[in-house]
């Protein structure tokens, strides 16, 4: 039986004692024996179980690293009172052998900790044994996620598989791949990472169409069947997560199946990235172009020295192996031994006993294992350990090694091996440099390409088979020439969009027609053929509808969306004898007339006492009021305005009249010279209410839309072309045509003068391109549509579609009145009304103030009514003392009284016209004092202020 290096190391001290006993004296032998006994009593052995499969790459590499770790640790810490002793149990990869080894170590060896097992499947079971016995189970290679709350005594001294899913998702996102197929080992190791990968990929906009599982013991035939299924799918991005041996077998068959060529993307998780170093050139040849990730380990002098010593030791242990590098798992194994040794020293002396000679065989009685008294303390110490290990900083978070930076490597082939092309850090994400944000280095993809593959490929002949609808009518959108070439607006947009893609997509058109050349079905049936995979896409005037999206995916729309109604237009203006009244509404006419009258009355009231032109008989004054106000409309009034207050009123009124006059002239000219085109129908409800017929384009979804508005299906008439629309609308067969806005605009570009679009616009999705569900082309084509629609190309396409014409009736869906109403001018009327009222108020205040002695007379015999009658008579008299009257007298002869000194007879506060009133007859103007006593009596009464009230009474009688 071959002795391991650890067993040889344990035998060297007794063998040395034997040699010394042959050459030294009994006294010297006694002293050496005492020294040996003293050494054995100063240290305590701590048994630590190790469960590995040394026949595997990870097992053999890790065991050598662990042996070196024990030597290096106690060489660096010679004064420690504890010495860990590694008890190896070399097992197979199955769970049963690992469980039996764990029971043996726990029950017979009484180990204080277990390092291992090697696989995640084994770790899940042995972790339960650790929880039951409270013995820490420490694994550096079981990377599948395992809940620390369910397994408190399980410690992972490796990076959790879930930590690398962000790296993978970032790579997928950086290359804009939308689909990733997971190729997993059918085991706990493969299933553990899958949910985390799916969630991470969904966060970056990618999804997993399906997962491919390969059994651990799969044959080449089984793998070839799996590869054939993968090759028949359109996705070309594959992520492989499996063990070394199975992965090498898988990639070898993939190369044979010509799936390591142009257009394919192969990525590996960090559990597989080291396969090139382990297997060598044979792995390089079958994995050319593979992109992998692995934990980043910083190069140091200590690490380089360790590699040299590891190579020497590994060569001794495994002389036939070609492995020359310790993997990351080996470095984690090295750091794991150091962490256990540090924790063991912290616990101190343990109740560790040698296995009983009568119990060397593994017992199945788990109840005899018992519970460790020091396992909890050992676990707690390990969880708080922090040191700079061989793989980097050793720090446990939530029971597992804290992850940090990943490196991205690329397998180059041709004996070159692999090359680092970038890093992933929590700070910068994907980057070409570890400490800054830069682009990745150039990657060599399968087939030797330097350009990143688009990530998908059609499984057909390599071209997209695009279905194109065939129907008569609107050939401006889609048509087929006599030579079979497809043309039209939809074809032009689609080809421009495909050219805008960042990669080339070959395609060919296929008409959806029967043997007679007619359409082979409706648009819904054509779209369903995409769902049945008879077509890879559909290009044409296909509207995006909710029911259709259940079977296919649509791109963004490339036309205006919506459904509207097309109706005839007629000139509804009546040009008869009363057309001149139409520019103003009834309310505006009434307001204008009332303003004329009110303004004339205000001017008369202010000018009446001072202006001879506003005096005379009542009938003449009434005529002057209306003549003056209405003559201002054409600015032909002849009356002179003498008072400043009336001048203010007239100036404001002229401003109002000017605006009203100009508005009337403009509105009347428009009515007489322009057609008042208005639609015959304004909304769909009117058509339904009157039971009229409605036309629509044949094979469209319009009938289903109209049914939602309770439209009678028997009132629908299908048409095939714009010419049919024109004929039906012109002869009255239909009251309106309901169709999508792009069709109506094409129709109006030809028949613009006779029709218009009216009514509300019913929302639809617009025209879009059709692709199968989950097609990776949809997001790329949608982005390309945005690029084309925002460029000048779209303007050119629309000019060709509408024949470079623009119809004013396209968006004219509202009917407005052409006459003017009071709401447009109420501000003007308010200004003139306020100014006139204010002037009238000021004049009244000044008049009453000048004659306030009449109102203030306290004679009880004079009533209020008599006072106002007196004021009215005073107002009716000509005010010759005013400045305005004097100006008028300079032009016309002034009438004077025959009383030479009458001004001296007037009491204070009585005006000259009052003086004349008292001394002359109001009717004849004859002075009363010349004929007899009545005049003298009045004069004497005037001279006596106390008899003024009697005069009022006498006059009133």
pLDDT of 410 reads 93
* Alpha carbon distance, N-terminus to C-terminus of the chain: 161
- Better pLDDT: 41 or 150: 150
What pLDDT, on a 0 to 100 scale, did the predictor assign at position 68?
95
Mean pLDDT of 459-483: 82
Categorize the per-residue pLDDT at 591 as very low, low, confident or very high, splitting at 50, 70 and 90. confident
Whether 562 and 764 have beta carbons less than 8 Å apart is answered as yes
Q: Between the CA of residue 643 and those of 110, 481, 702, 847, what are the distances in Å?
A: 127, 87, 74, 13
Q: What is the per-residue pLDDT across 20-42, written as a single tens digit (0 to 9) for each?
A: 333 333 333 333 343 444 444 47
Q: Which fold has domain 564-571+677-801?
A: D-Maltodextrin-Binding Protein; domain 2 (3.40.190)
The mean per-residue pLDDT over the stretch 108-122 comes to 90
Whether 625 shows a pLDDT value over 60: the answer reads yes
Tell which wins on pLDDT, 699 or 4: 699
Of residues 265 and 579, more confidently modeled: 265
Question: Higher-confidence residue: 885 or 151?
Answer: 151
Per-residue pLDDT averaged across 536-564, rounded? 91
Query: Is the pLDDT confidence value at 658 over 50?
Result: yes
For residue 897, name the pLDDT band (cuts at 50, 70, 90). Answer: very low
Higher-pLDDT residue of 277 and 494 is 494
Look up residue 56 and give its DSSP letter: S
pLDDT at residue 355, as a whole number:
41
Q: What is the pLDDT of residue 301?
A: 93
| pLDDT value at 884 more than 60 | no
pLDDT exceeds 60 at position 108: yes
Q: Which 8-state DSSP code applies to residue 108?
A: I
Tell me the percentage of the chain whose pLDDT exceeds 70. Answer: 80
pLDDT at 336: 96
Give me the mean pLDDT over the 375-386 stretch. Answer: 93
User: How high is the pLDDT of residue 575?
Assistant: 64
Residue that wins the pLDDT comparison between 79 and 13: 79
User: What pLDDT score does 395 carry?
Assistant: 93
**Better-predicted residue by pLDDT, 755 or 51:** 51
Q: Which residue has the higher pLDDT, 346 or 322?
A: 346
CATH superfamily label, 464-542: Periplasmic binding protein-like II (3.40.190.10)
Compare 838 and 858 and report the one with higher pLDDT. 838
Angle at alpha carbon of residue 230, lines to 229 and 235, rounded to 5°: 135
Domain range annotation of the chain: 464-542, 564-571+677-801, 577-674+820-835, 851-957
Higher pLDDT, 684 or 326: 326
Question: For residue range 195-236, what is the model confidence (pLDDT) as tens digits?
Answer: 999 999 999 989 898 899 999 989 999 999 999 999 888 889
pLDDT for 368 equals 67
Q: At what angle do helices 301-317 and 57-76 cross, to 10 degrees?
A: 120
Q: 815-843 burial, b for 16+ CB within 10 Å, e for fewer?
A: eeeeebebeebeebbeebbebbeebbeeb
Q: Is the pLDDT of residue 924 over 50?
A: no
**pLDDT in the model for residue 827:** 86
Residue 127 has pLDDT above 80, yes or no: yes
Please determine, for residue 65, whether its predicted confidence score (pLDDT) is greater than 90: yes
DSSP sequence for 221-245: HHHHHHHHHHHTSSB-EEEEE--HH
Write down the pLDDT at residue 687: 85
The b-or-e profile of 468-488 (16+ CB within 10 A means b, else e) is bbbbebbebbbbbeeeeebeb
pTM above 0.75, yes or no: no
Q: For strand 237-241 and strand 265-268, is the pairing parallel, antiparallel, or unpaired?
A: parallel
Residue 939: enclosing H or E segment and its boundaries? helix 933-943
- Position 748 confidence tier, pLDDT thresholds 50, 70, 90: confident
Is residue 358 very low, low, confident or very high in pLDDT (cuts 50, 70, 90)? very low
Q: Is the pLDDT of residue 892 over 50?
A: no
Q: What pLDDT shows up at residue 367?
A: 58
Residue 785 near residue 593 (C-beta atoms within 8 A): no
For range 671-677, the mean pLDDT: 65
Specify the higher pLDDT residue, 529 or 273.
529
How many Å apart are CA 562 and CA 537, to the nearest integer?
Answer: 23
Q: Is the pLDDT of residue 319 over 50?
A: yes
Residue 70 vs residue 721, higher pLDDT: 70
Which of 40-44, 182-186, 766-770 is the least confident region?
Answer: 40-44
Query: How far apart are the C-alpha atoms of 514 and 385, rounded to whole Å?
Result: 77
Do 464-542 and 564-571+677-801 fold alike per CATH?
A: yes
Average pLDDT score over the chain: 80
């Amino acid at each position: 039986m071959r002795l391991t290096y650890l067993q040889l190391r344990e035998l060297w001290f007794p063998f040395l004692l034997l040699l010394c006993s042959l050459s030294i004296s009994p006294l010297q032998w006694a002293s050496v024996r005492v020294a040996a006994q003293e050494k054995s009593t100063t240290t305590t052995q701590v048994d630590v179980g190790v469960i590995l499969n040394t026949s595997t790459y990870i097992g053999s590499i890790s065991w050598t690293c662990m042996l070196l770790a024990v030597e290096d640790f106690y060489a660096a810490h010679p004064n420690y009172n504890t010495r860990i002793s590694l008890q190896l149990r070399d097992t197979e990869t199955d769970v049963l052998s690992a469980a039996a080894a764990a029971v043996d170590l726990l029950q017979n060896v009484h180990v204080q900790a277990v390092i291992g097992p090697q696989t995640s499947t084994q770790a899940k079971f042995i972790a339960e044994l650790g929880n039951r016995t409270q013995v820490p189970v420490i694994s550096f290679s079981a990377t599948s996620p395992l809940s620390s709350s369910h397994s408190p005594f399980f410690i992972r001294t490796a990076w959790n598989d879930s930590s690398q899913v962000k790296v993978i998702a970032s790579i997928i996102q950086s290359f804009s791949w939308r689909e990733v197929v997971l190729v997993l080992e059918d085991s706990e190791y493969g299933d553990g990472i899958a949910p985390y990968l799916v969630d991470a990929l969904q966060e970056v906009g990618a999804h997993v169409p399906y997962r491919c599982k390969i059994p651990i013991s799969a044959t080449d035939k089984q793998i070839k069947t799996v590869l054939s299924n993968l090759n028949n799918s359109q996705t070309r991005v594959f992520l492989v997560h499996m063990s070394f041996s199975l992965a090498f077998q898988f990639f070898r068959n993939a190369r044979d199946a010509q799936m390591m060529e142009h257009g394919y993307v192969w990525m590996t998780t960090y559990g597989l990235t080291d396969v090139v170093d382990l297997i060598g050139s044979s792995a390089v040849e079958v994995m050319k172009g593979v992109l992998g990730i692995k934990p980043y380990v910083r190069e140091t002098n200590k690490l380089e020295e360790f590699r040299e010593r590891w190579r020497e030791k590994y060569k001794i242990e495994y002389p036939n192996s070609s492995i020359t590098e310790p993997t990351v798992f080996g470095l984690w194994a090295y750091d794991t031994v150091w962490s256990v040794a540090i924790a063991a020293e912290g616990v101190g002396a343990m109740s560790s006993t040698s296995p009983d000679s009568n119990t060397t065989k593994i017992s199945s009685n788990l109840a005899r294992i018992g519970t460790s008294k020091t396992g909890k303390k050992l676990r707690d110490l390990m969880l708080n350990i922090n040191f700079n290990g061989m793989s980097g900083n050793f720090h446990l978070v939530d029971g597992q090694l804290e992850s940090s930076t990943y490196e991205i490597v690329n397998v180059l082939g041709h004996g070159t091996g692999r090359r680092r092309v970038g890093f992933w850090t929590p700070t910068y994400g994907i980057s070409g440099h570890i400490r800054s944000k830069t682009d990745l280095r150039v990657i060599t993809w399968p087939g030797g390409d330097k350009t990143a593959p688009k990530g998908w490929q059609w499984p057909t002949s390599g071209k997209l088979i695009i279905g194109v609808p065939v129907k008569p009518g609107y050939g401006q959108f889609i048509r087929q020439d006599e030579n079979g070439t497809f043309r039209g607006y939809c074809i032009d947009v689609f080809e421009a969009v495909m050219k805008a893609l960042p990669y080339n997509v070959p395609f060919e058109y296929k008409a959806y027609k029967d043997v007679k050349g007619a359409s082979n079905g409706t648009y819904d049936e054509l779209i369903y053929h995409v769902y049945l995979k008879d077509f890879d896409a559909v290009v044409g005037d296909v509207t995006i509808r909710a029911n259709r999206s259940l079977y296919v995916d649509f791109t963004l729309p490339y036309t205006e969306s919506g459904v509207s109604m097309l109706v005839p237009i007629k000139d509804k203006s009546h040009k008869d004898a009363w057309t001149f009244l139409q520019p103003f509404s009834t309310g505006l006419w009434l307001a204008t007339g009332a303003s004329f009258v009110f303004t004339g009355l205000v001017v008369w009231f202010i000018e009446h006492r001072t202006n001879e032109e506003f005096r005379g008989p009542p009938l003449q004054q009434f005529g002057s009021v209306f003549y003056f106000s209405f003559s201002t409309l054409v600015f032909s009034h002849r009356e002179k305005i003498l008072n400043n207050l009336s001048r203010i009123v007239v100036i404001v009124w002229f401003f109002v009249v000017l605006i009203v006059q100009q508005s009337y002239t403009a509105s009347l000219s428009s009515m007489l010279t322009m057609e008042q085109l208005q639609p015959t129908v304004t909304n769909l409800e009117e058509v339904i209410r009157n039971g009229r017929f409605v036309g629509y384009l044949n094979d469209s979804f319009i009938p289903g839309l109209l049914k939602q508005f309770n439209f009678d299906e028997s009132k629908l008439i299908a048409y095939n072309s714009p010419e049919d629309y024109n004929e039906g609308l012109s002869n009255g067969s239909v009251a309106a045509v309901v169709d999508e806005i792009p069709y109506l605009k094409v129709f109006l570009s030809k028949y613009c003068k006779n029709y218009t679009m009216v009514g509300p616009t019913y929302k639809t999705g617009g025209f879009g391109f059709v692709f199968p569900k989950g097609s990776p082309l949809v997001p790329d084509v949608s982005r390309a549509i945005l690029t084309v629609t925002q460029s000048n190309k779209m303007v050119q396409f629309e000019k060709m579609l509408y024949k470079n014409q623009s119809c004013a009736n396209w968006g004219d869906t509202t009917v407005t009145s052409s006459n003017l109403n009071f709401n447009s001018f109420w501000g003007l009327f308010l200004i003139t009304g306020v100014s006139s009222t204010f002037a009238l108020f000021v004049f009244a205040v000044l008049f009453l103030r000048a004659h306030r002695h009449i109102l203030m007379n306290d004679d009880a015999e004079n009533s209020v009514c008599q006072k106002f009658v007196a004021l009215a008579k005073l107002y009716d008299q000509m005010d010759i003392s005013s400045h305005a009257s004097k100006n008028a007298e300079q032009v016309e002869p002034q009438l004077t009284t025959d009383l030479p000194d009458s001004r001296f007879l007037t009491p204070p506060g009585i005006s000259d016209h009052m003086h004349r009133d008292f001394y002359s007859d109001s009717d004849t103007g004859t002075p009363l004092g010349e004929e007899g006593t009545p005049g003298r009596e009045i004069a004497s009464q005037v001279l006596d202020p106390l008899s003024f009230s009697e005069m009022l009474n006498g006059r009133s009688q």
